[in-house]
Amino acid sequence: MVDLSVKLCNLSLDNPVIPASGTFGYGREYLDFYDPNILGSFSFKGTTKELRFGNPAPRIADCTAGMINSVGLQNPGVEEVLRTELPEMKKVFKKKVIANVCGFSVEEYVYVAEKLCADESVGIIELNISCPNVHNGGMSFGTDAKCAYEVTYAVKKSVTKPLMVKLSPNVTDITVIAKACEDAGADAVSLINTLLGMRIDLKTKKPVIYNKTGGFSGPAVFPVALQAVYRTYEKVNIPIVGMGGVSSAEDVIEMMLVGATAVQIGTANLKNPYACKEIIDLLPAVMEKYRIKSLKEIIGGAHR
């Protein structure tokens, strides 16, 4: 008998498989495919203070071994999420969830984080610092260590639940940002968010995406994500949730060996709605194949 359980901050997870924010809605959307309670947890759709309709279409582009999206944080706003989405979610998902918090200023991040932290269903706050900082010329919070520290410190002071910061790979050295977040009080980091990418429509000879560029994700980015987690594991002393192109049970094992405590699955859910279930179902056989008795014991194993 193999042991799939892991502990992420204060959450005891039955397994390390967590659908990533923006790819699993609020859980109800997947009820026709499987019971979401088989998951370790899931990160629900990124939430801002106000309602957002997102970016103009087209905002999705197909790529070899992946996709580009420029959805633009479409969500109903934090008050509506608390009023309608989370009560409905609790009817179908009985475990603690991860609340993905987005914002365009430190004040907005704090406001949304405080609101979501107060909900009993939320176990961890996940701070998406890939949002543009409107008070700093539009530069993403996650591309500057000082900005990352500032927003992490402010939110950490305002919440009572563990704070996990989601990091952008579109930086010179992601480990510097991760260390700044740890120094500011983050309890965990999750990485990587999407890479920047674009496609050109050969018929129109113009960008496929209305906003020209978007977030590139999918199997093609897995090696990039793997090395980012590996390097970050050597620089911080807080848990890491690995993500970026994970699409198989073998990928989960690789990600944990380089240092991930748990693993988020993103684009694979959009291609195959059964992806997370299939990965969870196959994990025991893959563990036995590689003589792994407990997933907790392999975290960071590639460093030993």
pLDDT in tens, 86-139: 999 999 999 999 999 999 999 999 999 999 999 999 999 999 998 766 676 656
Asked, for residue 86, whether it belongs to a domain, the answer is: yes
Under 8 Å between Cβ of 221 and 196: no
Q: What is residue 185's predicted lDDT score, i.e. its pLDDT?
A: 98
CATH at 141: 3.20.20.70
| 235: number of Cβ within 10 Å | 13
Asked, for residue 1, whether it belongs to a domain, the answer is: no
Q: Provide the whole-model pTM.
A: 0.96
Under 8 Å between Cβ of 140 and 129: yes
Mean pLDDT of the chain: 96
Q: What is residue 130's predicted lDDT score, i.e. its pLDDT?
A: 85
Average of pLDDT values for 7-24? 97
Q: How far apart are CA 195 and CA 38, in angstroms?
A: 29
Q: How far apart are CA 238 and CA 179, in angstroms?
A: 10
| 288: number of Cβ within 10 Å | 12
pLDDT tens for residues 38-63? 999 999 999 999 999 999 999 999 99
Q: How far apart are CA 54 and CA 75, in angstroms?
A: 8
Q: What is residue 246's predicted lDDT score, i.e. its pLDDT?
A: 98
pLDDT tens for residues 197-239? 999 999 999 999 999 999 999 999 999 999 999 999 999 999 9
Q: Which domain covers residue 67, as residue numbers?
A: 6-303
Q: What is residue 133's predicted lDDT score, i.e. its pLDDT?
A: 65
How many domains in the chain? 1
Quick one: which of 142, 209, 147, 134 has its CA closest to 169? 142
Q: What is residue 89's predicted lDDT score, i.e. its pLDDT?
A: 97
In this structure, the strands spanning 66-69 and 60-63 are: antiparallel
Which one of the listed residues 102, 131, 147, 276 is annotated catalytic? 131
- What's the Cα-to-Cα distance from 243 to each of 168, 183, 273, 299, rounded to whole Å? 11, 22, 17, 15
pLDDT tens for residues 160-185? 999 999 999 999 999 999 999 999 99
Work out the percent of the chain whose per-residue pLDDT is above 90: 95
Q: How far apart are CA 192 and CA 245, in angstroms?
A: 9
Q: How confident is the model at residue 282 (pLDDT cuts 50, 70, 90)?
A: very high
Asked, for residue 288, whether it belongs to a domain, the answer is: yes
Quick one: which of 34, 224, 149 has its CA closest to 243? 224
Q: How far apart are CA 139 and CA 197, in angstroms?
A: 17
Quick one: which of 181, 294, 290, 279 has its CA closest to 239? 181
The neighbouring-strand residues paired with 241 are 190, 262
Q: What is residue 131's predicted lDDT score, i.e. its pLDDT?
A: 76
131 catalytic? Reply is yes
